[in-house]
Amino acid sequence: MLLVELMTKDECSLCEKAKEIILSTRRVHPFDFREVDIRSNSRLYQRYKEKIPVVRIEGEDAFKYKLSERALIRKLVRAEKRSGQSSSNAVHDPSSERE
């Protein structure tokens, strides 16, 4: 299963909104989720301090500041195809076929 990470810190309203979208998407398109407080690691803090929230899929930055459920599903489907994985409960997103 793919891993989606949310790079975040306390008192970040955009981070809270991103988390809501991620958890909502996870209900219809399963994936592993991990929330990472950037202040827990100085390297992460230096990399992301002014850029959060950042959403990473399988270790690669996928979104910065904002995302939508539709865009997240599209990127998850692409990542699954690249990795040979498939979510049996995934919702088919026909828009992903046009890009």
Instruction: Please tell me the predicted confidence (pLDDT) of residue 68.
Output: 97
**Residue 84 lies in domain:** 3-97
Output the domain CATH number for residue 74. 3.40.30.10
Instruction: Please tell me the predicted confidence (pLDDT) of residue 87.
Output: 59
Instruction: Please tell me the predicted confidence (pLDDT) of residue 86.
Output: 65
Instruction: Please tell me the predicted confidence (pLDDT) of residue 88.
Output: 52
Which residue type occupies 90? A
pLDDT in tens, the chain (99 residues): 999 999 999 999 999 999 999 999 999 999 999 999 999 999 999 999 989 999 999 999 999 999 999 999 999 999 999 988 765 554 444 444 443
Q: List Cα–Cα distances, 93 to 74, 90, 96, in angstroms.
A: 7, 9, 6
pTM above 0.85, yes or no: no
**What radius of gyration do the chain's Cα atoms show?**
14
Question: How many domains does one find in the chain?
Answer: 1
Instruction: Please tell me the predicted confidence (pLDDT) of residue 84.
Output: 85
Instruction: Please tell me the predicted confidence (pLDDT) of residue 7.
Output: 97
